[in-house]
Structure 1
Amino acid sequence: MELSTDAEKLSDSEGTKDIESDDVLELNQFDGLPFSSRYYKLLRERKGLPVWGAKCEFMDSLINNQIVMVPGTAKTGHSSQIPQWCAEFCLSTQYQNGMVVCTQIHQQSTVELALRVADEMDVNIGHEVGYSIPFQTCSSADTVLRYYTDDVLLREMMSNPLLEQYGVVVINQVQDRTVSTDLLLGLLKDVLLARPELRLVILTAPHSTETMLRHYGSIPQIHLDEPQLCEVVYGSGRGGVKDYLCSAIRLALEIHQNQDDGDILTFLATEQEIECAHAILRREGASFALPHGEMVPVSVCPELGHCYLDHSEEKNIRKVFLTCSPSADLFWAVLTIRFVIDAGVQKRYVYNPRIRANSIVIRPISRSQAESRKQLAGPKGKCFCLYQEDASLPAESIPHILEADITSTVLFLKRMEIAGLSHCDFIDRPDPESLMQALEELDYLAALDDDGNLSEIGIIMSEFPLEPQMAKTLLASCEFDCVSEVLTIAAMLTGPSSFLIPPVETSQKALLCHQKFQHVEGDHFTLINIYNAYKYAQEGTYSNVERWCEEHFLSLNALQTADAIRSELTDILKRIELPVSLPAFGSKSNIVNIKRALLAGFFMQFNLCGIFQVARDVDGSGNYFMLTHKHVAQIHPLSGYGTETDLPEWVLYHEHTLSENNCIRTVSHISAHEFIQMAPQYFYYNLPPSESKDQLQQIMDHGSAAPSKGKRKLPTSSHPAIEEQPYERCTIQ
């Protein structure tokens, strides 16, 4: 990946005319080699950044203080320059206290910052400068500056709680308050006490400094000269941001028609809005024959893995970046942006611990986010805020730890207690109800012993970078001899969705392609079909796997990510000496065993009660009643059953989301007989009263099911004595 900068526009003669002969012979202190001419070109650019004037003040503060805070926005250069200065600080002590690690939130910006900084330092990526994101590492033992995503650094703390290989820890994008960032900031308070030589540098937005001062006390701040703001145009309508999507699309088209060259960055709230805007702009933009050339919409959705940013400047092309990322830092290196359209809203997942489901909430962005977005257009650009100037925006976003499912967080903290860090000083403590639900859920999964400490199973579960229920499912697959298949399911569900959502004009073709992979038993098994077909295309006779993915409307990036996740999970199983069975996908016993493993992870028992992620279609029209939640939801449209009229009566589901389209996702058929065979009998007696419970009771008493309201007869595996027969499987070539 190569980043384009303004310095690259300079000709060779312009780039070298100011370099003195002595400078050419100057040696790089990090690798001992002479600096290249490109180093000096980039150095001149770096000296123009607002952060550059604060270098001396920052270095003095770092020498004399254990904690330093630097407030700044995306275009100040603090994310790229300050970690380099920290590397110089560690070099000055001959790395006696360790190297430098700098955290980021997004994987994309982690990689891009590492590449850019390696370029500026005139060293090789993977050697002196490296990066590590989930399931991908590019570094070596000699790496002095590492860019990590915050969750990767957390997992490193499991084996090295005091971070003894680091002399400086830089926590970036603190204002976004992710769960991982809050955990790092809480745990580092004890680490700093245990290691007085360790330095902590906090990079945050100006509006978030008060929160950090309350948490860490009086710490020095390095105030930067903020970049000159662009022209800001606010909305004037009384309706606020009610119709922001239509307004954003209309405004992008107007800019393309009437404004000078420069790309457009549009902040929306949801992936669905991005898909809609992308389709409209692609259709409408094609009708313009303007001096600015073609309008090319580019979707940037980190959550879905659609996050590739092309930084090159192409003639006769105006790119319109469409994103729902709340963070502006993702676009720090895109120098071509001249116009920003900010809807002023964001999507948040809010977890309800009582029914164990996420709700999707659309709410205003914070003032900190609003200011960062304005910086992205540059001093000569324009920012169009679709909200009114006097709109009431919160100073900061609500910390994710107050609204997220913290079961994985509690499992991690229990593991850290074993490692010696028994206390996490939270900036904002999680809700007591969420904390209690997380502890109960870990108890249901047998991850805790009678004293509330991690059990042996809990310790093994914490080794896997998976949600606890999926980790338990993977452990159960070792018992049921279906490890290979469950590894694939876990990898496909952990990574971004492999399904590409195409423009409206090709949606029917995409649907037909996706149906070729559909497995009669449901979505979990369909995921195995997709992965196996991808590996066949990759390793077989198909010449171009990228083209194969395009033809089948699948995301190559998502499938590559799933492949990497699967490899790492396999390595973990081998490291802790758990068996990895050979693939057996297709036989009836294998299908039954996969369902048993899934139920082992997604059934939890506690005090003779339980939670099953199982639902029943109560009226034959797709209204699924969740047994323990007593809520009704529909199957998600992207499910293999989403277009079916003849739906299974009983399903096992992976996720329930409360939103405008209240739905259960990743569902697979399970018969009532299988359900009864695979779950403890005492569970049924504690179910809330319902027609579904009555049907299960009738089967238990008499061995026959109640009438199934005209459901289709799906193949089941309720009788282990049935002779094994291979299922029909699709082989896509």
Structure 2
Amino acid sequence: MAQDVSSLTGEDNFEEKPACCLDTEALSQGDKEYDDILELNQFDGLPYSSRFYNLLKERKELPVWKAKCEFVDTLAEGQFVVVSGSAKTGRSSQIPQWCAEFCLSVQFQHGMVVCTQVHAQQAVDLALRVADEMDVNIGHEVGYSIPLETCCANDTVLRYCTDDMLLREMMSDPLLERYAVVIIDQAHQRTVATDVLQGLLKDIALQRPELRVVLLTATEPSPKQLAHFTGTALPVIHLDSPGAGEVAYSSSGDGYFCSALRLVLEIHHSKEEGDVVVFLVTTQEIDLGCDILCHEGHNLPPDLGELLPVAVHPGHPGNLPVLGEETGRTRRVFLTSSPNEEFFWAVSSIGFVIDAGLEKRYVYNPRIRTNSVIIRPISRGQTESRRQLASPTGRCFCLYPKEKQLPAQTQPHIVESDITSTVLFLKRMEIAGLGHCDFIDRPDPAGLMQALEELDYLAALDNDGNLSEMGIIMSEFPLGPQMAKTLLASCEFDCVSEVVIVAAMLTAPSCFLVPSVELKPEATHCHMKFQHPEGDHFTLINIYKAFKHSQQDPYCNVEKWCQDFHLNHAALLMADTVRTELTDTLKRIELPISVPAFGSRTNTLNIKRALLAGFFMQVARDVDGSGNYFILTNKHVAQIHPLSGYGAKSPKLGLPEWVLFHEHSFSEDNCLRTVTHITPEEFIQMAPQYFFYNLPSSESKDILQNILTHRASQHQEEKPPTTQGGHQEDHTSDRCVIQ
């Protein structure tokens, strides 16, 4: 199609036209105007719309437009280029379009363009915006791929996707041969997936000299990042900043939270125009700030206009549909936290930014296998990104002294995160021929050893430390290694239909809505109706089945049903989508899917066996009968979360002695979340022996050892004869044979 277009509009074929066509002087003025109207889009061959030209005028006003020639020349000359500029420079929308034009110039003979984003919502928003600017249909020439949703076609030439989606695509296309240009946007955030991509792209670029790699950053890249790909500093194109407004510093003695809310009210009373973005630290502060501002807004004089607080949680910008232009006399106050600095790139109405200068980070401790929360200052680059959100005539209030020393760069997530899933993926890449991932910053050695040890316990590695057949199948699922192992074990124990629901419900956000204090007793009563006597994993199955039943009832309003039972409708819809995706993956790799049998005694036991096959490292025992649970792997004591059926202390569920838990939220409330009752015998049956013997010494381990010794002596005394031609049933026959 592009070749046909060039024959109509390109200069290269101009001389091949008949002589009469060359005499432009002979054309009437009307013919010239008609020719202008028929200027064709080089991507779809259709005439441009009037909106294209209107948007083109806006695009040419962006700071990035001044660097177009420099960028295109740099892209043509070398494999790597870095573009540094804030979100409002237009880098994330314009650079990918120019890369698509670069690929079109060689008829896409080396592939298309892919641009990664850290957050799914940003990938969707950018794809929609760029399709509009390019005057093409979304899902055709321009598309996007995010978890659980793909909007692309075979003729897609520019695709936005999340960084983890591109990593999963590499499992089937390790050299990314579909793409001629790979753009890593928001490289300054240094997420695990973005760092892994950069590490693998270094090797891929050596094998594919025609590949182009573009890094987009909002802050000045570090020397280590610049020297990563070639050993020498990469060419960097610096974009002019559109200019930030006035900056004011303060060090309030009564804390940043109260100061921020007081500033919001002062701004509103001043009647100055513009929306407000407030950068706080925790989710609780965001929600509490919204509640306080809502309450205060009701008491304001009508002549001030409406004050509308909007919570934008990190990684989940569920309120982004309201991020249009301001309407009437409503002042919106967006309360958010890191890493949401770039969620507001398209909001031109922001006049004020209030910055606490702090962020909350989860730091993984491999010794105790759980996260700790650290509140620390943001980097200098992040402060600049926040300031840029305000219009040149706006103001940024920094709630910390001007002389405060801030770190130069954001700490890479790869050195602070649980990388078990990452190691599983990299082991899969070794099979695909990418044997080395050259990290910009190497992971913590203790974390790497813990990840390898955990994969070994899960039987994902063979005796040589390579990925086993079990590990290869585990890597096919978009789940953590423990949940992937649980799902595979469910195939062995004929409980796939139930375990796939559990996996989906735990992958999606929590289905429980946490109500206000007034409605809390009512919500607890509603949630108790779904409680299962065996524990929370079974309760999740009850909730999902009730949700599906309400969907199938033609007289039931599903959203109202969820509201009545204080359940999250969006989370349940996502769980349903995840369940479908997991079921499709099982069918694709030809694993058996059992007939639903939820409620039978055998099915209940099999579900627990499957859960223990993956989560035997997350078992705890009530040491004093009062709810103080001793975690076997790290010797910490925790309590059951109040949202648990056991935590609610309902008459239906008493406190079990031994439990399996899905998560230990050590850093926030020291609680065990999603808990199910097990017996020590079930634990012994499913835990690998080499894991059991590596458990630290404790009274709980002594109890397990006594049970194991007693069983061994009983088995030795009985010594039943083997039945000819039959199956001898013993204590090991029920073990998960896939281990």
Deviations 1:312-354 (A, max 9, x none): 3332322222223324112212223222121111111111111
Question: Is contact 1:150-1:180 (8 Å) kept?
Answer: yes
- Cα shift at 1:410: 0.7
Question: Is contact 2:378-2:407 (8 Å) kept?
Answer: yes
1:67 is the counterpart of 2:75: no
1:491 to 496, 499, 504: 504
Look up the match of 1:655: 663
In structure 2, how many angstroms separate the alpha carbons of the residues matched to 1:210 and 1:426? 14
1:282 is the counterpart of 2:294: yes
Helix, strand or coil for the counterpart of 2:660?
Answer: strand
Look up the match of 1:299: 311
Q: How does 1:243-392 map to 2 (within 5 A)?
A: 243-303=255-315, 306=318, 308-312=320-324, 313-392=326-405
2:46 to 28, 33, 37: 33
Look up the match of 2:155: 142
Change (3 A) 1:585 1:61: same
Letter matched to residue 77 of structure 1: G
Letter matched to residue 75 of structure 1: K
- Cα shift at 1:643: 2.6
Q: TM-score, normalised by structure 1?
A: 0.88
Percent identical residues: 67
Deviations 1:214-272 (A, max 9, x none): 213222211211111112121233x5xx8222222222222222242322212122212
Q: How does 1:350-499 map to 2 (within 5 A)?
A: 350-499=363-512
Helix, strand or coil for the counterpart of 1:330?
Answer: coil
Letter matched to residue 166 of structure 1: Y
Letter matched to residue 577 of structure 2: A
In structure 2, how many angstroms separate the alpha carbons of the residues matched to 1:332 and 1:504? 36
Question: Is contact 1:353-1:433 (8 Å) kept?
Answer: yes
Change (3 A) 1:119 1:508: farther
Letter matched to residue 108 of structure 2: Y
In structure 2, how many angstroms separate the alpha carbons of the residues matched to 1:555 and 1:503? 15
In structure 1, how many angstroms separate the alpha carbons of the residues matched to 2:463 and 2:684? 28
- Cα shift at 1:377: 1.4
In structure 1, how many angstroms separate the alpha carbons of the residues matched to 2:257 and 2:522? 27
2:558 to 545, 548, 573: 545
Question: Is contact 1:639-1:665 (8 Å) kept?
Answer: yes
Look up the match of 1:218: 233
RMSD: 2.3
Change (3 A) 1:698 1:213: closer
1:614 is the counterpart of 2:627: no
In structure 2, how many angstroms separate the alpha carbons of the residues matched to 1:563 and 1:249? 39
Change (3 A) 1:592 1:308: farther
In structure 1, how many angstroms separate the alpha carbons of the residues matched to 2:515 and 2:214? 43
Look up the match of 1:633: 638
In structure 2, how many angstroms separate the alpha carbons of the residues matched to 1:354 and 1:496? 27
Change (3 A) 1:34 1:682: closer
Helix, strand or coil for the counterpart of 1:159?
Answer: coil
- Cα shift at 1:489: 1.0
Change (3 A) 1:601 1:232: same
In structure 2, how many angstroms separate the alpha carbons of the residues matched to 1:529 and 1:274? 32
Deviations 1:127-171 (A, max 9, x none): 010000011100000000000100000111111111111111100
Unaligned runs of at least 5 residues, structure 2: 1-31, 712-729, 732-739
Question: Is contact 1:182-1:427 (8 Å) kept?
Answer: yes
2:108 to 75, 79, 95: 95
Question: Is contact 1:311-1:335 (8 Å) kept?
Answer: no
Between 1:531-540 and 1:458-467, the stretch displaced more is 531-540
Change (3 A) 1:505 1:388: farther
Letter matched to residue 72 of structure 1: G
- Cα shift at 1:690: 3.1
2:678 to 643, 665, 670: 670
* Alignment: residue pair count: 677
Deviations 1:169-209 (A, max 9, x none): 10000000000000110100111111111111110123324
Structure whose alpha-carbon radius of gyration is higher: 2
Helix, strand or coil for the counterpart of 2:238?
Answer: coil
Question: Is contact 2:222-2:409 (8 Å) kept?
Answer: no
2:242 to 212, 220, 227: 227
In structure 2, how many angstroms separate the alpha carbons of the residues matched to 1:78 and 1:410? 32
Change (3 A) 1:480 1:43: same
Deviations 1:457-516 (A, max 9, x none): 010011111110110000000001110111111111122222223344433333333332
- Cα shift at 1:376: 0.9
Look up the match of 1:691: 699
Change (3 A) 1:649 1:68: same
1:582 is the counterpart of 2:612: no
Change (3 A) 1:634 1:222: same
Deviations 1:534-572 (A, max 9, x none): 222222224432333333332222222222211111111
Change (3 A) 1:235 1:24: farther
Look up the match of 1:42: 55
Letter matched to residue 669 of structure 2: N
- Cα shift at 1:587: 1.6
Letter matched to residue 330 of structure 2: I
Between 1:96-105 and 1:613-622, the stretch displaced more is 613-622
In structure 2, how many angstroms separate the alpha carbons of the residues matched to 1:511 and 1:382? 44
Look up the match of 1:563: 576
In structure 1, how many angstroms separate the alpha carbons of the residues matched to 2:63 and 2:517? 45
Change (3 A) 1:21 1:555: farther
Deviations 1:616-666 (A, max 9, x none): 122233211112211111222332333327422221111123214222221
Between 1:147-156 and 1:278-287, the stretch displaced more is 278-287
Letter matched to residue 625 of structure 2: G
In structure 2, how many angstroms separate the alpha carbons of the residues matched to 1:559 and 1:627? 32
In structure 2, how many angstroms separate the alpha carbons of the residues matched to 1:166 and 1:56? 22
In structure 2, how many angstroms separate the alpha carbons of the residues matched to 1:95 and 1:496? 40
Letter matched to residue 246 of structure 1: C
Q: TM-score, normalised by structure 2?
A: 0.88
Letter matched to residue 231 of structure 1: E
In structure 2, how many angstroms separate the alpha carbons of the residues matched to 1:669 and 1:398? 39
1:165 to 164, 170, 178: 178
